Amino acid sequence: MQNIDILIKNCTILTMKQKEPIKNGIIAIKNGKITFVGKERKKDNFKTEREIDAKFKVALPGLINCHTHVAMTIFRGTAEDKELNSWLKEKIWPLEAKLKPEDVYHGTLLGCLEMIKTGTTCFVDMYFYEDAVAKAVKELGLRAVLAPGILSTGLSTSGQQMLESAVEIYRKFHGTASGRLNVWFGPHAVYSCDKQTLISVMEAAKKLNTGLHIHLAESAEMAEKIRLELGISEVGLLHEIGFLAKNVLAAHCIHLSKNDIELLARHNVKIVYNPVANMKLAQGTAKIKEMLDFGITVGLGTDGPASNNSLDMFETMKIAALLQKLTYKDPRVLPAWQVLKMATVDAAKALGLESEIGSIEAGKKADIILLDFKKPHLTPIHDFYANIVYSARGSDVDTVIVNGKVLMENREVIVANEEEIIRKAEKTALDIVNR
């Protein structure tokens, strides 16, 4: 008989390694890892002091949000119904100029709380004061890839100084929190980083064997400006300087030519599809079908809570599917199974973490969520994947486990004082506006 830390029993398991659900299943967890996934009849092989009875619940890998700016929770609702230029220049950038590390800390705590409550167990964050983000992530127990933002235009700090700061954050936090934290570099965009900054960031990432996260081809206006000034597309410029590689995660990728998509595919660049924010800011629709046809790995992201305005990946999954079906006028595009893969298995691959997370398998990290299916809107169950993508909501998440630690059970967050986090974040948000 094997001693384990947690036994999840009596549940339906969607491993995402295989499409067929495991009914009446159990999951055994020890030392932060999954040691067994299979049928209920095997439960007598395990001895544990903690059992989670998951009757009427469905277990699936924790969702992965591949692109966000989590601390922007404190800007939620401050810049509404504006086009991107006005949104940035009139509202967001002036507010960000007032930011202090403690603001980012409280905003991140609020965002982490929202993600726990809606089933996201891992996220990629590009923002300022990522050391404050790291502190919040460590406290609340989530997994994260932190990409300190780097710009060489529009700020008093130079791109080189921001890169040096990012390297410091890498040395301090990469691989910490029992392996839950990874640090990449976040050159903001082609239009906000000069060529030399992009090259320097690329070389630093190569030297430290880490990843790069960048906004790419998000705005038609900026994409056209680059073409007129340089006679080349954003993707073409990155290709020219040797930036494109398998360790690059590019967010948005809306305004791409077929040649751009071929270049991204050739260099095994990973893409993040952010349908809700792209729709809200009217930036256009990424050509996800073409990307997938070229074999590109695509993950899903919410973008920041100031442009979405939510961190709920269930909402993102549904809209991701519907927008592509509408764009291609074909209901067969992006079926539910494929969309859920983009939020789990494919997202893990996009982060280079496919050997650790993204599916429920023995040997992988125990990042698991339980959905309560005893709900009117999740009844009947003809297709688990359709119910999850088209009917489920973040509020259906009952239990969240990361690295084998229970963060939430029966909708109660165990690792934090919800009321206190909300109160301090609200105070922080009002304070910034009034500064």
Residue 324: is its pLDDT beyond 90?
Answer: yes
Q: What's the confidence (pLDDT) of residue 45?
A: 86
In this prediction, residues 128-156 reach a mean pLDDT of 92
Asked if residues 298 and 344 have their Cβ atoms less than 8 Å apart, the reply is: no
Asked if residues 52 and 8 have their Cβ atoms less than 8 Å apart, the reply is: yes
Q: What's the confidence (pLDDT) of residue 435?
A: 78
> How far is the first Cα of the chain from the last one, in angstroms, to the nearest whole number?
61
In this prediction, residues 183-207 reach a mean pLDDT of 96
Identify the band that residue 89 occupies on the pLDDT scale cut at 50, 70 and 90: confident
For 105-109, 129-133, 139-143, 152-156, which range has the lowest pLDDT when averaged over its residues? 152-156
Residue 401: is its pLDDT beyond 60?
Answer: yes
Which long-range contacts link 161-168 to residues 24+ away (Cβ below 8 Å)? Answer: 163/197, 163/200, 163/201, 163/204, 166/130, 166/201, 166/204, 167/204, 167/208
Residue 44: is its pLDDT beyond 90?
Answer: no
Structure tokens at 224: 């056209």
Pick the CATH number of 2-61+367-413 from 3.40.50.10860, 2.30.40.10, 3.40.50.880, 1.10.10.60: 2.30.40.10
Structure tokens at 216: 């790419």
Asked if residues 296 and 256 have their Cβ atoms less than 8 Å apart, the reply is: no
Give the Cα separation of 108 and 139 in Å (integer).
Answer: 11
* Cis peptide upstream of residue 148 (ω within 30 degrees of 0): no
- Topology of the domain covering 63-350: TIM Barrel (3.20.20)
Full-model pTM? 0.97
Answer positive or negative: Cα dihedral of 330, 343, 410, 371. positive
Give the Cα separation of 257 and 404 in Å (integer).
Answer: 43
Residues forming a β-bridge with 318: none
In this prediction, residues 41-45 reach a mean pLDDT of 76
Q: What's the confidence (pLDDT) of residue 361?
A: 98
Residue 173: is its pLDDT beyond 90?
Answer: yes
Per domain, the residue ranges of the chain are 2-61+367-413, 63-350
